[in-house]
Amino acid sequence: MSNQDDLAIETHSLTRRFKKMVAVDSLDLAIRRGEIFGLVGPDGAGKTTTIRLLCAIMSPSDGSATVAGFDVEKDAEEIKKRIGYMAQRFNLYGDLSVMENLNFFADIFAVSGEVRQERITQLLAFARLTEFKDRRAAQLSGGMQKKLALACTLIHEPEVLFLDEPTTGVDPVSRREFWDILSDLHLRGVTLFVSTPYMDEAERCSRVGLMFEGDMIVCDTPEQVKDLISGELIELRPDDLRRARDLVAELDGVLEIQTYGDLLHVFVDSAEKRMSALEDRLKKEGIAVSGLRQTRPRMEEAFISLIRKRIAEGRTNNPVSSESD
Amino acid sequence: MWRRIASMIVKDFQQFLRDKVLLAFILVGPTAQLLMMGQATASETQHLATAIVDQDRTSDSRALIVALDNLKTLDVTHYLDSVEQIDALLDRGEVSVAVVIPSGFAATLASPPDRATVQVLIDGSSVLAAYAALGAAEGAIASMGAEIAVERAQSAAVSGAARRTLDLVPTARFNPEMNHSYYLMPSQLSLIVLIVTLLVSSVGIVRERETGTLEQLMVTPLRRAELIVAKATLPTLVALVDFLAMLGITMWAFGLPVKGSLALLLFVTLVFIVAQQTWGLVISAVSATQQQAVMLIFMTGILSVAFSGYLVAVENMPLVMQWASAFFPIRHYLSMLRAITLKGASFVHIRSQLSALVLLGAASMAVSVRSFQKRLD
């Protein structure tokens, strides 16, 4: 483990229980300053609880965590001066204008004088909200609301920024724009802790953690995570997805099958060896196949595979759908 | 610290002034209610037709009749010869009140310590009118008794009996007109203050919880105490302004007398608002949505009407209810409000109620501050 000073976030067996349910189970994390850390996982995996624990607005049931060098239980207020937090829901004052929202948070974080004027001007430009500064926050589009929320959490230049599904419900263009802003922040050295249900966003992180039912199943760079998948991936588009899936499952060398829209993703021990057998079998049954190719597994396939493996190991009672479309 | 509190307060005011529905609820609603209620009770309880059965026919009985007739509440319209005639008149609704002065009335008055009795019959179908008539008749009769006692005390040597009659004086002077709208107005005022305080304070917090801004505020250097102080300011000011406006209306439109000190009245109201605020905090702590908060406020309002002495005087409640009512701040506030406006009570007279109010406020503050944490769990 690296030097204590280099760590923005560190947890030891961090656990949070709600009555009988374990929302976060013995989480061990070490996130260096300047990282973009992506927390991914299905709904109910414990992502939001983890972020709330780290933001010191929820007490751990067990274990400990430090953020920006301060303990979440003992020095909660010190942490709050140094972090920014953007909750999943729109969390600004809808009946106040863009400017009023920014001014309010500047007051609360004691940002005053010239610095304040400068920063607000900068943030407005940065979030491309300058021309909307007098508009009521509730009247902004979803994407603009997210950017305003982000601007408000940046008013005190936090060292660590926590973002809980910041782009959920935002159109693709705004999503890209939002991530451009996050990249800027990353370049400035801000530590980013982002939870997201989108795998393409996970790919943009320096490291990702996959959470499932309170456990961190894997935590590594996107490349390493993808390498965890056993076998090679064949992608195809059969005209009868259901039958094709059942037929392919019986073939030799097939490790796992996932569906993705009307695509079939087949993991095999060797693509070279199995591709033709697969094609022949489907043809014989009269199933037309297009787009047959070997492809590199993406984060998406990797995560589904990892979660399935976890379920197969019988370490959970919760059935999870393998469909990811 | 003060800067954070101040910016929070400014923000709350901006939001409050932009919430037109809440504004209307707080200003228009109570005003209309007060005006209508005052108007209704005033017209219903004035110039009630009164029948007199004078079986005594002495100067004392005639003096009592004149005294009754002089009341704004009663108009003597019928002089009857026998008690039997009363029922028919009451049934037909020609009179609302009948007063029977028995023979021997003057004689009894003249020979203390015997007490003269006067019978008052009332049309009970109109509750407000009945109360008003009864109160008015009682007042007139009591004050006449007092006057006689005073005369006697002045003319004769001060005997033990006369002194005892004199003891009646303060009771007799209390609100002889017994104007029902005067009695009802303070109740209504206290209820308005209660509802407005609870509504503005808990909605202010619960709305922030509902929209997620409370969670956002938790991740800022804003401290719990700062948040509580800031969040208490708007409701306190709004309730106080509302109280002043409503008091103004009752004084101007219905001539509610404020016999005591206005400053004391305001002070007592402020204490009540603060005590009630803490209850508002408890409501906000347990409510996830504004809807839940509003339901709890309504429940509080209904219980407060029952236990405050608004409808049934506390002394007339069953004993258990009387004890229970001690835990309702509004009961103590209402009794002080009535005492200050109608009786002209000063600080000394309301000491015990004020201490009870302060005690209740302190207790619920302890609970509320505990229940209001800067954490989600």
ipTM score of complex: 0.82
Any CB–CB contact under 8 A between A96 and chain B?
yes
Question: Which residue of B lies nearest to A93 if distances are taken between CA atoms?
Answer: B213
Q: Buried (b) or exposed (e) across A82-92, using 16+ Cβ within 10 A?
A: bbbbbbbbbbb
Chain A neighbors of B14, CB-CB under 8 A: 95-96, 100
Is A4-222 assigned to CATH 3.40.50.300?
yes
Structure tokens at B296: 């709890």
**Among A241, A276, A277, which Cα is nearest to A259's?**
A241
pLDDT of residue A135: 96
Question: Which residue of A lies nearest to B216 if distances are taken between CA atoms?
Answer: A91
- CA-CA-CA-CA dihedral for A296, A298, A303, A305, to nearest 10: -30
Question: Which residue of B lies nearest to A59 if distances are taken between CA atoms?
Answer: B377
Domain locations in chain A as residue ranges:
4-222, 228-312
Contact A212, A310 (CB under 8 A): yes
pLDDT of residue B114: 67
Which of B6, B211, B376 is facing A52, going by the closest CB pair?
B376
Handedness of CA B312, B317, B321, B327 (dihedral sign): positive
Task: Report the C-alpha gap between B19 and B24 in whole angstroms.
Answer: 9
> What domains are defined for chain B?
2-41+180-371 (no CATH), 46-173 (3.40.1710.10)
Whether a cis peptide bond, with omega within 30° of 0, leads into B113 is yes
- Give the C-alpha distances (Å, rounded to integers) separating A37 from A6, A25, A65: 15, 19, 16
Any CB–CB contact under 8 A between A139 and chain B?
no
Q: How many other CB atoms sit within 10 Å of the CB of residue B289?
A: 12
Which of A59, A85, A104 is facing B11, going by the closest CB pair?
A104
- Give the C-alpha distances (Å, rounded to integers) separating B1 from B226, B227, B229, B237, B372: 7, 10, 11, 21, 19
pLDDT of residue B186: 85
pLDDT of residue B126: 61
Any CB–CB contact under 8 A between A52 and chain B?
yes
Architecture of domain A228-312: 2-Layer Sandwich (3.30)
The H or E element spanning position A144 is helix A142-153
Stated pTM of the model: 0.76
Percentage of residues in chain B with pLDDT exceeding 90? 28
Task: Report the C-alpha gap between B98 and A72 in whole angstroms.
Answer: 78
pLDDT of residue B96: 80
Half-sphere exposure at residue A38, Cβ-oriented, CA atoms within 13 angstroms: 26
| B18·A95 Cβ contact <8 A | yes
pLDDT tens-digit profile of A29-51?
999 999 999 999 888 899 999 99
Task: Report the C-alpha gap between B317 and B306 in whole angstroms.
Answer: 10
Q: What is the mean pLDDT of residues A54-83?
A: 94
**Among A70, A78, A88, A75, which Cα is nearest to A9's?**
A70
Task: Report the C-alpha gap between B373 and B293 in whole angstroms.
Answer: 18
- Give the C-alpha distances (Å, rounded to integers) separating B172 from A218, A276, B165, B256: 86, 112, 11, 19
DSSP assigned state of A240: S
Chain B neighbors of A109, CB-CB under 8 A: 220-221
pLDDT tens-digit profile of A164-205?
999 888 888 888 888 998 999 999 999 999 999 888 899 999
Chain B neighbors of A93, CB-CB under 8 A: 11, 15, 211, 213
Handedness of CA B314, B317, B323, B327 (dihedral sign): negative
DSSP assigned state of B31: H
pLDDT at A133 over 90: yes
| A57·B219 Cβ contact <8 A | yes
The H or E element spanning position A212 is strand A207-212
Could you tell me how far CA B290 lies from the centroid of its own chain? 29
Any CB–CB contact under 8 A between A146 and chain B?
no
Angle at the Cα of A19 from the Cα atoms of A18 and A25, rounded to 5 degrees: 50
The span from the first CA to the last CA of chain B, in angstroms, equals: 25
- CA-CA-CA-CA dihedral for B292, B294, B295, B301, to nearest 10: 150
Strand partners, A289: A238
Structure tokens at B357: 């109010």
Per the prediction, chain A carries an average pLDDT of 89
Residues in chain B, pLDDT under 70? 38-45, 112-116, 124-132, 145-183
Question: Which residue of B lies nearest to A112 if distances are taken between CA atoms?
Answer: B3
pLDDT tens-digit profile of A261-312?
889 999 998 888 898 899 899 999 899 998 899 988 888 888 888 888 888 8
pLDDT tens-digit profile of B192-237?
999 999 999 998 899 999 888 999 999 999 988 899 899 999 999 9
| B377·A58 Cβ contact <8 A | yes
Q: How many other CB atoms sit within 10 Å of the CB of residue A50?
A: 29
Percentage of residues in chain A with pLDDT exceeding 90? 58
Question: Which residue of A lies nearest to B19 if distances are taken between CA atoms?
Answer: A95
Residue A104 distance to chain B (closest CA, Å): 6
**Chain B interface residues (partner A, CB cutoff 8 A):** 3-4, 6-8, 11, 14-15, 18-19, 211-213, 215-223, 374-377
Task: Report the C-alpha gap between A66 and A98 in whole angstroms.
Answer: 33
Task: Report the C-alpha gap between A182 and A87 in whole angstroms.
Answer: 16
Choose between A2 and B205: higher pLDDT: B205
Task: Report the C-alpha gap between B49 and B123 in whole angstroms.
Answer: 11
pLDDT of residue B162: 37
